[in-house]
Amino acid sequence: MIAIPDSDGTGSSESLPPPTLFGLFSIAFRTGIFSFGGGISAWLHREFVLVRPWISEGEFMARMTTAQILPGANVTNLTVMIGMRLFGLRGAAVALFGLLIGPFFGVIGILQVIDILQGWWGMKPLLAGVTAGAGGLLIAMACRSGQQFVTRLPLLVVMLSTFILVGILRLPLVPVVLGLIPISIGAALWAKK
Amino acid sequence: MRDNLLIMLALTFIPYSLAALGGGHSVLAGIQHTAVDVNGWIASDTFAELFAAARIAPGPGSMLVTLIGWKMAGWSGAAIATLAFFLPSSILCLAAMHGITRYGETKWMLVLQDALQPIGAGLVLAGAVTILTVGEGNLLEWVLALAIAVIAYLRPSFHPLLLLSAGSCVLLAVN
């Protein structure tokens, strides 16, 4: 993956059409409606880096890190940054709109279908299975993220405190997060030593 | 009255947009708490249904907020909730992007990354427990969830949708 050249005009990018606002919209739109069950970042990587050399590999990875650090859904962060990078604020707005408009109607449509099928005996276990599966995926995600803190105890303490305060004691999430940020910065500095 | 409802939806989701460290699913526990426990906007089992619908539908799993808005106030509720959840974080992201290209990656960014990651991970775990208790919450579902967690942990390459449908198949077969 690292072997992909940056956009330094070595020839390959000249044969491909330059980015257009409509192209940006249609990629964001397709990404939105064809990405089921997560893994949207991989889609964006394919569309913007591999299929069209609009963004370099290195820049995509850097933006991805930024998207993950900052609050908000990672995909939307990544998409608005790519849009901003290609066409400024206009591009960011078009990319965000394109990404969300399909899922907006899609999710409401799915809910209507579920409501219509409510009488069917299988609907309840089917949805319960999805919920259980999604819960399992979240546990796996937290564990994968948490394993890197095993060697950095202060950060593990922050993770478990967050979980206990919000997940077990059910304290309001936003104040807890605001209160934990300075503590966690201290923990991160301490763990670095 | 209706305008109040829309304003309340916006004021509810804007803070969650900015608190969603590490991704949209990290504020699941908070959204459930606000919508079900504190305000009683929707019943517990309805919340579970909306969550599952958002997971089956294409797009980010956070489209759950769209469905909460839809249940509360129809099309305008859905639109307001979606904007309130996705716009503030996007604006913050663009502002931060501007700052980062200007100052480059500093030591502080790495510290911030280290500091925010464990909070995000703890929130995701809280979200998992919340969504598993909000449904029927019986023993079988917990066992199923843990089994899927182990599979997803050991095999990150498995497509999420595959594991979600596996979960559904098991519960359909049992019933």
Please name the residues in contact with A149: beta carbons below 8 A apart, sequence gap of 6 or more: A155, A156, A159, B118, B121
User: What's the whole-number mean pLDDT along residues A126-143?
Assistant: 88
Identify whether B101 is part of a domain.
Answer: yes
Q: Please give the C-alpha separations between residue A25 and each of A78, A80, A113, B91, in angstroms, as whole numbers.
A: 14, 11, 28, 18
Q: Indicate if the pLDDT at residue A151 is higher than 90.
A: no
Of all residues in chain A, what percent carry a pLDDT higher than 70?
A: 89
pTM of the predicted protein model = 0.85
Determine the pLDDT at residue B168: 81
Question: CA nearest B167 in A: which residue?
Answer: A129
Determine the pLDDT at residue B1: 57
The answer to whether B132 faces chain A, any CB pair under 8 Å, is yes
Identify whether B114 is part of a domain.
Answer: yes
Identify whether B97 is part of a domain.
Answer: yes
DSSP-assigned beta bridge partners for residue B58: A36
User: What's the whole-number mean pLDDT along residues A102-124?
Assistant: 89
Identify whether B169 is part of a domain.
Answer: no
Is the Cβ pair A73, B49 closer than 8 Å? no
All residues of chain B having their beta carbon less than 8 Å from the beta carbon of residue A166 are: 29-30, 122-123, 126
pLDDT band at residue A11 under the 50/70/90 scheme: very low
- Which is more confidently placed, A110 or A67? A110
Determine the pLDDT at residue A2: 39
The answer to whether A122 faces chain B, any CB pair under 8 Å, is yes
Determine the pLDDT at residue B155: 81
Determine the pLDDT at residue A108: 95
Identify whether B28 is part of a domain.
Answer: yes
Q: How many domains does chain B have?
A: 1
User: What's the whole-number mean pLDDT along residues B70-96?
Assistant: 94
Distance from CA of B161 to the nearest CA of A (A): 5
Would the ipTM clear 0.90, i.e. be above it? no
Distance from CA of A77 to the nearest CA of B (A): 6
- Touching B: A residues 44-103, CB under 8 Å: 62-63, 65-77, 80-81, 84, 89, 92, 96, 99-100, 102-103
Identify whether B146 is part of a domain.
Answer: no
pLDDT band at residue A4 under the 50/70/90 scheme: very low
Mean pLDDT score of chain B: 86
Residue type, A55: I
Q: Indicate if the pLDDT at residue A22 is higher than 50.
A: yes
Report the C-alpha gap between A149 and B114 in whole angstroms.
10
Q: Indicate if the pLDDT at residue A7 is higher than 50.
A: no
User: What's the whole-number mean pLDDT along residues A9-27?
Assistant: 70
Q: Indicate if the pLDDT at residue B127 is higher than 60.
A: yes
Distance from CA of A2 to the nearest CA of B (A): 20
Nearest to A110 among B56, B132, B146 (CB): B56
- Interior/surface letters A151-187, b for 16+ CB within 10 angstroms, e for the rest: ebebbbbbbbbbbebbbeebeebeebbeebbeebbeb
Distance from CA of A156 to the nearest CA of B (A): 7
Distance from CA of A52 to the nearest CA of B (A): 22
Determine the pLDDT at residue B80: 96
pLDDT band at residue A99 under the 50/70/90 scheme: very high
CA-based torsion, A169, A174, A178, A181: positive or negative: positive
Identify whether B105 is part of a domain.
Answer: yes
All residues of chain B having their beta carbon less than 8 Å from the beta carbon of residue A189 are: 111
Q: Indicate if the pLDDT at residue B75 is higher than 90.
A: yes
Q: Indicate if the pLDDT at residue A40 is higher than 60.
A: yes
Residue type, A84: M
Is the Cβ pair A36, B148 closer than 8 Å? no
